[in-house]
Amino acid sequence: MDTRVDGARWSTMSVSAAGSLFDPGTGYAYTLNPVAVAIITAWKADESPDRLRAALLERFEVDTRTLERDLMEFMRRVKWLGLVT
Amino acid sequence: MSPEKGQVYPQNIAVTGLNSSENLAAGAPVIRSLRAVPAFTGKVVALAYDALDAGLYVPGLVDTSYLLPYPSQGLAALTARLSHVATQTPLDLIIPCLDSELQSFIRLESFLTAQGIHTLLPTEEQLVARTKANLAGLTARCGVAVPETRVVFTRGHAAQGLAGLPFPIVVKGCFCEAYVAYTPAQAAGYFDRLAMRWGVPVIVQEYLTGIEFNVAALGDSTGKMLGAVAMRKVILSNTGKAWSGVTIHDPTLLTLVQDIFTGLRWRGPIEIEVLKAARDGQWYLLEINPRFPAWIHLATAAGQNLPFATVRAALGEVVQPFTTYAAGLRYVRYAQDMICDPAEFDRLTAIGEIRREDHDERTI
């Protein structure tokens, strides 16, 4: 599954230390769990999908199949929220 | 931008709009912004229309208070009253904060200048150009999209809605208040309510869905934009007023605001209400209010003290435009019962003024 996003847009968003995401273009804030923080931090750094997957596999106790399923679900949700087009 | 180091502002500044109903006026927040500047050492003079305007009773907010005649009593009554106020408390500057009084203060600009009282107000032509009834004209003048709009003078015309567009529609009063009407009967009913309260015309507007944003901004005496802060309403009152909001930063929105300044060459405070439509992602101009909004202190907290920039620009200083502000800053409004000192209330109702010389002992 393609997990590339528009790095320029994500660079304007901020992730707080407490784990919330703020979109300065809309004023909406989102509460993130640690996995989401890791994904969005990678997006903000414009990291490649391969590096993102490798980082998630290294940091969290998850197998490849579950990771792909969770990434797909995450992408579906951020698209639904309008954060990714 | 901030004043120069060591510079003080000993001027006496009069502010209107001290009323605090659910539809809060901007007077008290404007004064809070002025008081936030250590260099401001002058007095704050409240010009109120009612002895029960809550801002008159907030400890530490104002030094001196005077009642003004309502705008409906005409320019002569206002002139006489301001002349009296100026003899009692020398005024250097007035910041009007209510839509309904703007025309009077604009017409009195020469009189005020002759009295040594500074203002930073739009021209009457600018004021009229941004009325709800004339909003559609701004498309050509400023290059901004406006929802389909129709000006109506009768309940029958309100019930007809907009040609070619289905209900719901938005029915708006000429000064403020707006309702979404889902049927012709509802539109007629809202016309009656708004016409009775604010007069005619009433505005019938296309109902658009999307995200609404408000921008507080300021233009100098040449119409150059000195600052602009955008906010999204987070909590709304029953009448659609913001009870909580968050500053946002969208370069395309600020470009649109700049276009409005370029088109209107607006002088003074302004609030611009826009909507990013869900149907096409385009910005639509909903309203322009010719004064600061009630949430103006959020802009100050975010880094642009536009009320104090008004003071500096009105006094003739060359003020450098603000270039940044903090996005993501939130406010939530708080309502509190103010206890009115019986002696002060009596003085206001009997002779229309209270003079306090001890604001340093009070707390804000």
Indicate the pLDDT class of residue B359, thresholds 50, 70 and 90: very low
Q: What is the mean pLDDT of residues B141-156?
A: 93
Given the cut 0.85, state whether the ipTM is greater than it. Answer: no
Six-digit token string for B300: 């100050």
The answer to whether A58 contacts chain B (CB < 8 Å) is no
Residue A8 has pLDDT above 90, yes or no: no
Q: What is the mean pLDDT of residues A69-85?
A: 90
Q: What percentage of chain A carries pLDDT values higher than 70? A: 91
Six-digit token string for B211: 């995200």
Residue B118 has pLDDT above 70, yes or no: yes
The tens digit of pLDDT for each residue in B280-319 reads 999 999 999 999 999 999 999 999 999 999 999 999 999 9
| Alpha-carbon torsion, ordered A45, A51, A54, A58, to 10 deg | -30
Model pLDDT, residue A5: 63
Q: Please state, in angstroms and rounded to a whole number, the distance separating the CA atoms of residues A50 and B256.
A: 40
CB within 8 Å: B248 and A14: no
> Topology of B13-119+336-361 in CATH?
Rossmann fold (3.40.50)
How do the domains of chain B map onto residue ranges? 13-119+336-361, 126-130+209-332, 148-206
- The amino acid present at B130, given as its one-letter code, is R
Residue B263 has pLDDT above 50, yes or no: yes
Q: How far is CA B230 from CA A29, B139, B204, in A?
A: 16, 21, 26
Q: How far is CA B69 from CA B44, B135, B175, in A?
A: 19, 30, 19
Residue A85 has pLDDT above 80, yes or no: no
* CATH-assigned architecture of domain B126-130+209-332: 2-Layer Sandwich (3.30)
Model pLDDT, residue B156: 95
Q: Please state, in angstroms and rounded to a whole number, the distance separating the CA atoms of residues B3 and B16.
A: 24
Give the distance from residue B301's alpha carbon to the nearest chain A alpha carbon, in angstroms.
16
Among residues B295, B143, B127, the alpha carbon closest in space to that of B219 is found at: B127
Q: Are B202 and B152 in contact (CB under 8 A)?
A: yes
Residue A27 with chain B: CB contacts under 8 Å: 213, 231-232, 234, 245-248, 327-328
The tens digit of pLDDT for each residue in B265-282 reads 999 999 999 999 999 999
Mean pLDDT of chain B: 93
- The amino acid present at B60, given as its one-letter code, is G
Q: Please state, in angstroms and rounded to a whole number, the distance separating the CA atoms of residues B236 and B248.
A: 17
The answer to whether A11 contacts chain B (CB < 8 Å) is no
Residue B249 with chain A: CB contacts under 8 Å: 12, 24-25
Q: What is the mean pLDDT of residues B2-28?
A: 90
Q: What is the mean pLDDT of residues B12-32?
A: 94
Q: Both ends of chain B: CA-CA distance in Å?
A: 24
For an interface test with A, which of B209, B231, B250 has the most A Cβ atoms less than 10 Å from its Cβ?
B250
Size of interface A-B (CB pairs under 8 A): 28
Indicate the pLDDT class of residue A70, thresholds 50, 70 and 90: very high
Residue B361 has pLDDT above 70, yes or no: no
Query: What is the SS3 assignment for B116?
Result: coil
Six-digit token string for B63: 């030094």
Residue A24 with chain B: CB contacts under 8 Å: 248-250, 327-328
Residue B1 has pLDDT above 80, yes or no: no
The tens digit of pLDDT for each residue in A24-41 reads 999 999 999 999 999 999
Indicate the pLDDT class of residue A10, thresholds 50, 70 and 90: confident
Q: Please state, in angstroms and rounded to a whole number, the distance separating the CA atoms of residues B87 and B84.
A: 5
Indicate the pLDDT class of residue B337, thresholds 50, 70 and 90: very high
Give the distance from residue B249's alpha carbon to the nearest chain A alpha carbon, in angstroms.
5
CATH number of the domain located at residue range(s) B148-206 in this protein: 3.30.1490.20
Query: What is the SS3 assignment for B1?
Result: coil
Model pLDDT, residue B22: 77
Q: Are B230 and B211 in contact (CB under 8 A)?
A: no
Q: Please state, in angstroms and rounded to a whole number, the distance separating the CA atoms of residues B270 and B261.
A: 10
Q: What percentage of chain A carries pLDDT values higher than 90? A: 60
Q: What is the mean pLDDT of residues B3-31?
A: 91
Q: Both ends of chain A: CA-CA distance in Å?
A: 15
CB within 8 Å: A24 and B248: yes
Mean pLDDT of chain A: 88
